[in-house]
């Protein structure tokens, strides 16, 4: 008998942010094929009997990406054909910059029964943790997800992104930390105001999560003084002041003795 294969979004890292469905299928899994950014704590809670197979890639590792995808596909197929309960475990949400759709295509071609289980994507988790108003009535009416890294290194998407930022759209940039200097230059060249806010949140939902806030003109020097670890998500926009930061600033400005 063959079991349904699940492509599961694990959320940003904290096991408490797994969905109940993700938790249920993980607890029943015979094989879990997992990615690089996957939280250690999530892997530790898998049943001992479950075979855990690393199939991830790290920033700029030398793996051939076509071979890597072929290996993942072959492992999914083999597991299902052997009658195992297979989970393909991905960080965040499988369809947000997670190549989940390529795996779906393979499974469809192979006529393998599968289901996608959504997860909390890093950007949304970051916005909640830092209380960033990514949408707000009459202020932030659209929201954009964007990648800061492309296969051929071009940054064409930032032409459209620049316009969206100028009309007041917050943009969440995944995989953008290493290219941030070029991204900022491109936005400013395209007319985005240098005082537009930027917030970087590293290791969202991990105990050592960190946030850095600034604007396009001062952010790179702030980052030099306060380096952030990967993975990091970036949020850029005119109206994205994190409520936490706002609270800190208000406290700093306050002259009352209670706040001193």
Place of tokens 């071979």: 67
166: tokens are: 């100028």
Which span (90-98, 136-144, 154-162, 249-257) binds ligand SAM, by CB under 6 A?
90-98
Using CB under 6 A as the binding rule, the residues of this chain from 125 to 154 that contact ligand SAM are none
- For the bound state, the minimum distance from the C-beta of residue 17 to ligand SAM, rounded and expressed in Å, comes to 10
Task: Point out the residues that are catalytic.
Answer: 35, 57
Spatial distance between the Cα atoms of 38 and 132, rounded to a whole number of angstroms: 24
Q: Per CB under 6 A, does 103 bind ligand SAM?
A: no
Question: Of 30 and 161, which has the nearer Cβ to ligand SAM?
Answer: 161
In Å, the largest CA–CA distance within the chain is 71
Q: Per CB under 6 A, does 118 bind ligand SAM?
A: no
- For the bound state, the minimum distance from the C-beta of residue 230 to ligand SAM, rounded and expressed in Å, comes to 6
State the CB neighbour count (10 A cutoff) for residue 166: 15
Q: Per CB under 6 A, does 91 bind ligand SAM?
A: yes
Spatial distance between the Cα atoms of 35 and 8, rounded to a whole number of angstroms: 11
Q: Per CB under 6 A, does 122 bind ligand SAM?
A: yes
Closest CA to 97 of 35, 16, 14: 35
Q: Per CB under 6 A, does 96 bind ligand SAM?
A: yes
Using CB under 6 A as the criterion, what x/- string covers residues 186-225 for binding ligand SAM?
---------------xxxxx--------------------
Question: Of 1 and 153, which has the nearer Cβ to ligand SAM?
Answer: 153
Phi, psi dihedrals of residue 190, rounded to the nearest 5° = -85, 5
Closest CA to 27 of 79, 84, 87: 87
Angle between helices 243-253 and 122-130 (to 10 degrees): 20
Using CB under 6 A, list all residues that contact ligand SAM.
Answer: 12-13, 37, 90-93, 96-98, 121-122, 174-175, 201-205, 231-233
């Amino acid at each position: 008998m063959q079991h349904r294969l699940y492509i599961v979004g694990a959320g940003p890292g904290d096991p408490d942010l797994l969905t109940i469905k993700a938790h249920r299928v993980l607890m029943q899994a015979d094989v879990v094929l997992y990615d690089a950014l996957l939280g250690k704590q999530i892997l530790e809670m898998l049943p001992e009997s479950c075979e855990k197979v690393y199939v991830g890639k790290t920033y700029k590792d030398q793996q051939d990406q076509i071979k890597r995808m072929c290996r993942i596909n072959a492992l999914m197929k083999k597991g299902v054909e052997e009658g195992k309960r297979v989970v393909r475990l991905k960080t965040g949400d499988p369809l947000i910059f997670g190549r989940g759709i390529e795996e779906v295509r393979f499974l469809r071609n192979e006529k393998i029964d599968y289901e996608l289980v959504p997860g909390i994507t890093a950007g949304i988790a970051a916005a909640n943790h830092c209380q960033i108003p990514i949408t707000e009535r009459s202020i932030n009416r659209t929201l954009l997800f964007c990648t800061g890294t492309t296969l051929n290194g071009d940054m064409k998407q930032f032409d459209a992104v620049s316009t969206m930022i100028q009309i007041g759209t917050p943009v969440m940039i995944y995989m953008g930390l290493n290219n941030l200097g070029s991204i900022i230059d491109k936005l400013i060249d395209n007319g985005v105001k240098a005082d537009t806010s930027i917030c970087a949140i590293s290791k969202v939902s991990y105990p050592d999560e960190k946030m850095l806030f600034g604007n396009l003109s001062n952010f790179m020097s702030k980052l030099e003084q306060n380096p952030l670890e990967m993975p990091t998500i970036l949020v850029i926009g005119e109206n994205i002041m994190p409520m936490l930061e706002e609270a800190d600033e208000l406290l700093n400005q306050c002259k009352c003795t209670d706040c001193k």
